[in-house]
Structure 1
Amino acid sequence: SHTMEVPLLAASQSAWEKVLRQVGNAVVFIDSKAGECIHWSVGLTTLLTGGAFAIKELNAYKASYFGYSQEPIENAGRAVFISAAPYSSIQVDLCDIICQSSFHAVLLVTVPHYEPQNLIPRLRNDLLQWMGLGSGNVKDFHADVLCFPFFYAPLTDSVIMLPPFGDLFPILDVNKVKSFGSKPNALSSKDLASTENLAISLDSLLNQMSVADVVFSIGNLSSAVATALEDFPSVHSRRKTAKHRMSVILIDRTLDLCFPTSVDSKCFLDKLLCALPHLPDHTNDIAVNMSQLAQVTVDSTNDEALFPGCIAHNDSVSQNVREWLFHKKDRDILINLHQILQSKISPGSKFATRVKPEALEKDVRQFRGNIKKIQENSGVLQIALAVVQALTGEHAEELELVLSTERVLRQNVATSTGSNELTGLLPQITKLISERHIRGLSLDALLTLLVLLYSLIGTDMNFPLKEEVQLQAAISTALFEDQEYPGLVHDILLPLEANKEKVDMVASHVFSILKAVSHTRRDLTKYKSILKGQGQSMPAEYTPLLQRVIKDILDPSRPLIPDMSCKSAGLRDLLKSGFSMLLNKQQAPVTQHPADQPNLLIMVLGGITGGEIRSLQESWAVSAQSLAGGTLFLASTRLLSPNDTLQAVLKSSPPPL
């Protein structure tokens, strides 16, 4: 089979360019998820350079008294709607906007659908009806609907995020902890809809890549998506005619929450995500304060940059630098950025051999006032400032403290794997919680550490009940005391001015979430533990789940992976299992192995970190599959920082009433 050349970044760029040809003189309405996809592909400014008449946010029209009705768009005859949300959720907005305007032509760019031939005529009809409401004659109007399979954010040519599913996260089942051997929870109707929509998106991505896929899954949500995918009629025709063969592995994020809650990543992208806030309404990019480039002093009171920079830029220099954020060491990133900036601003000058963040900041400041040079190098300047801010901001101190605490706790867990009760660990955190203000630690950072701990020990070990009770009381007190400067728990679970009783209830709920975190791998066999004992005298080592999965897939001896279920049974397997069921009523073991296909797509549902992307790519690079010309693609719903992870975990289980 020939090498699979499917550059996802380039593919999405050429697809968006086709859409952009249609925005000239039109009003463009776009929602934030679609905006995030364009942002990582061709960049949002292309809407303006494409000649759009005006750009409006689609989801801002929920409140009609405040939104659209006050500013009907005069003299705009055409509108382009770009939405990464399912049609049913934007129908009312579309109707409102179109009925109040005088458009004669409308284009709707919407998400893929598994039966486009039925959907498109219905949608066109809706749009025509709304345009014609004022005048009655539908003949004068024109409506087009495009089911667009490129609503993803390409970080590189082989790594994509899925902004439309940025909030998707496997449920942490609080009840599972209480009842052993219980059935997995039925998915809620909202999750079922997301599962179905994600399967449709995955299906359309595989169609774009022309792939005959075999789908494997680990975890409940992944299994539901794999099952939904298998039920589409288009799957079988694609598998017959596709150019390439690929194994697709879907994995639930919640099976290993240690990596995304850790601040101990070697990957610089993770350091950026840890240190800087996200761009408003974005799940992957970060907001960079650009005031160093301004000639005026910018006094921004609440840390929110007025016109933030970011790291998604599609010039070739920025794309190279972005690859470095995954793979290079801090030191090398600083030196390389210094060399790029120096060569742009004073060609021929000597490069420093050691570069501190402050020196790089000085390099950036040399561009002040030189508008032409700033425009030419805008992308790399923004990334350079992000690097400086990640290494020097005031959060750097808190991160150091969290890092040393995390290392001590891990060390403690690692050296006590022989016993099944871990004493003395939780009291260390209880003490930190009560001293958090003196030490400059936020409650969020400490709760994130707890998620890491509970995920790490799984069901192999447990903490003494008495210590857990004391910890829960400390969390409750802290939540009660911190109501003036609320953290994530307050935002997500606590109403304003809650009384002590309500706060106690929430603290108990947070605790049951932690317990649920430790139970996610309970029903697995091979991957039940992510701590590997290394013999008597050596401490146990945490081996990230994703690393173990790819190692097993690529292992030439093809070990069985019992925790991975395969939904795509080949015909041979069906026949075999049919016969064996006649013979011995036992289901034959699945004989498909992910390494049977030359290419691999690993997709993590619930988010991924830079460090995981890096380690998966490094494992692949030295594998037989890679040497034979196979390609590894990585996908996830979003990039995760420790803070993002805590937020997702707290939202993942319905709060007590």
Structure 2
Amino acid sequence: MVNMVELTALQTTDETCGIIAPGCLAQPNEPAAKALWESFMNLKQKEAVMEARRHLVEAASRENLPIKMSMGRVTPEQLSSYIQLFRNNLKALENHCGLLQLVLATVQTLKHPQTSKWDNFLAFERLLLQTIGESEMPSVLNQLLPMIKSYNERTKDDYACEDFLVLLVYIYSVVGEIKCGKELDTAEEEVKRALVKAICDEPELSPLLQNITGCDSSLNLTSQKAMDAVDGIFRSLRDIARVRMHMKQFHSIHNPGSNTHQASYKPLLKQVVEEVCNPDRPDPVDIEHISSGLTDLLKTGFSMFMKVNRPHPGDHPLLIIFMVGGVSISEVKMVKDLVATRKPGTQVIVLSSVLLTPHSTVELLFASDRLQPDARI
């Protein structure tokens, strides 16, 4: 919810203040707000924040408010100072209420204490990506080990147990096929022990940890229950690492880099969409065409005796992608940008069973009934 107190004369530091009705991100009746929301959805963070400033400056100029335009990096304090200009002008406030709510949401997001933590989290992911290309899996896990801290040892900038589970999923997903052996088993056991201790030391279990351990309270959690849960997590992680082994073309999503380029990863969905949009239309190795109808069946039969070109997924002006298990917002944006660049004019519909967040991904992997995986998401 968007805290609207900043647009009022109410003096309070209580973020949960219920006197003022909260703002809303959905603003279908204001063109500027709709345009800004589209920018939030389609642009990178830096560009989107600059768009927020631009829209705010234009709105203030139309209302003849004494705004001083400044160039350079956009800060939440700068946006707040612009918002304050509207506070005592009821007409301007009414005319641009939707836009102001979106900019307020931007300010509150940038000021949120978790923002810097997630920035550090992403930076650590990039560091792990380089390490994966240079070291074996045991070294990667050993690098992670000192950062697993119990509740009493953690500061506000340290990662919680749930965050480490997200990192583990990321590592095992990217690394692909793992070379098993005593060294890996030892490294995993060390991480397991640290995780079990951290989970058992939690004064109150989060909903995610409750679902993973099967305990609704830390009072009911024993070391054995935590160990059983962590063992199950690592069995699933090994399965995640092997999930693309049967593929020929899309078996790897990690590029180890070189002397001139950093290591990177190319998501499976990105590889599939690039293959679909490839102008050379190569015969896709890992994308299967299922014949349907008499004509297709006849073609399939004739292909035993003569060369028959199979339909290519890029032949059609409409591309429907259904992600079983879930899709993230970043993946949807990636598909949109890829198709717009590689094959403009193609309509793409991305469907899925659930919209994923990092923690919901962990819950689906480690705490769900596999027969009804989306029941709690």
Query: Shorter-chain TM-score category?
Result: 0.7 to 0.9
Q: CA deviation at 1:382?
A: 2.3
* TM-score normalised by length of structure 2: 0.82
Please, which of 188, 194, 197 is the counterpart of residue 477 of structure 1? 197
- Determine the structure 2 residue equivalent to 1:226: none
- Determine the structure 2 residue equivalent to 1:605: 324
Distance 1:304 1:512 in 2: 46
AA aligned opposite 2:241: S
- Determine the structure 2 residue equivalent to 1:546: 269
Q: CA deviation at 1:652?
A: 3.7
AA aligned opposite 2:41: F
Check conservation: 2:133, 2:257, Cα contact below 8 A. Answer: no
Q: CA deviation at 1:389?
A: 2.2
Cα displacement string for residues 69-101 of structure 1 (whole angstroms, at most 9, x for unaligned residues): xxxxxxxxxxxxxxxxxxxxxxxxxxxxxxxxx
Distance 2:20 2:228 in 1: 39
Greater helix share, structure number: 2
Distance 1:638 1:379 in 2: 29
Q: CA deviation at 1:477?
A: 1.0
Check conservation: 1:479, 1:490, Cα contact below 8 A. Answer: no
Distance 1:554 1:576, change over 3 A: same
Does 304-313 or 436-445 show the bigger shift? 304-313
Distance 2:201 2:141 in 1: 21
Distance 2:20 2:284 in 1: 50
- Determine the structure 2 residue equivalent to 1:651: 367
- Determine the structure 2 residue equivalent to 1:135: none
- Determine the structure 1 residue equivalent to 2:230: 507
Q: CA deviation at 1:313?
A: 2.5
| 1:338-487 equivalent positions in 2, closer than 5 A | 338-347=53-62, 348=64, 349-354=67-72, 355-368=74-87, 370-416=89-135, 421-434=136-149, 437-438=154-155, 439-459=157-177, 461=179, 464-484=184-204, 486=206
Distance 2:95 2:251 in 1: 52
- Determine the structure 2 residue equivalent to 1:314: 28
Equivalent position SS for 1:465 = helix
Check conservation: 1:415, 1:540, Cα contact below 8 A. Answer: no
Distance 1:300 1:606 in 2: 39
Cα displacement string for residues 491-538 of structure 1 (whole angstroms, at most 9, x for unaligned residues): 554312222222221222222232232232232221111113556875
Distance 1:443 1:360 in 2: 35
Equivalent position SS for 1:385 = helix
Q: CA deviation at 1:591?
A: 0.9
Residues 1:489 and 2:221 aligned together: no
- Determine the structure 1 residue equivalent to 2:7: 293
Distance 2:289 2:11 in 1: 59
AA aligned opposite 1:313: Q
Distance 1:546 1:485 in 2: 34
Q: CA deviation at 1:411?
A: 0.9
Residues 1:620 and 2:334 aligned together: no
Distance 2:246 2:199 in 1: 33
- Determine the structure 1 residue equivalent to 2:246: 523
Check conservation: 1:293, 1:368, Cα contact below 8 A. Answer: yes
Check conservation: 2:129, 2:263, Cα contact below 8 A. Answer: no
AA aligned opposite 1:311: L
Check conservation: 2:148, 2:198, Cα contact below 8 A. Answer: yes
Residues 1:567 and 2:290 aligned together: yes
Equivalent position SS for 2:321 = strand
Aligned residues: 358
* TM-score normalised by length of structure 1: 0.49
Distance 1:621 1:517, change over 3 A: same
Distance 2:11 2:365 in 1: 39
AA aligned opposite 1:437: R
Distance 1:493 1:375, change over 3 A: farther
Check conservation: 1:475, 1:507, Cα contact below 8 A. Answer: yes
Greater strand share, structure number: 1
Equivalent position SS for 1:425 = helix
Check conservation: 1:288, 1:305, Cα contact below 8 A. Answer: no
- Higher RCO (Cα < 8 Å, 6 or more apart): 1
- Determine the structure 2 residue equivalent to 1:181: none
Distance 1:579 1:306, change over 3 A: farther
Q: CA deviation at 1:446?
A: 1.5
Cα displacement string for residues 530-567 of structure 1 (whole angstroms, at most 9, x for unaligned residues): 11355687554311112111111111221222222233
Distance 1:500 1:441 in 2: 21
Q: CA deviation at 1:296?
A: 1.8
5+ residue gaps, structure 1, are: 1-286
AA aligned opposite 1:396: T
Please report the RMSD computed on the Cα atoms of aligned residues, expressed in angstroms: 3.2
AA aligned opposite 1:620: V
AA aligned opposite 2:163: A
- Determine the structure 2 residue equivalent to 1:47: none
Residues 1:593 and 2:312 aligned together: yes
Distance 1:305 1:485, change over 3 A: farther
Distance 1:305 1:540 in 2: 51
| 1:152-163 equivalent positions in 2, closer than 5 A | none
Distance 2:111 2:97 in 1: 21
Distance 1:394 1:540, change over 3 A: closer
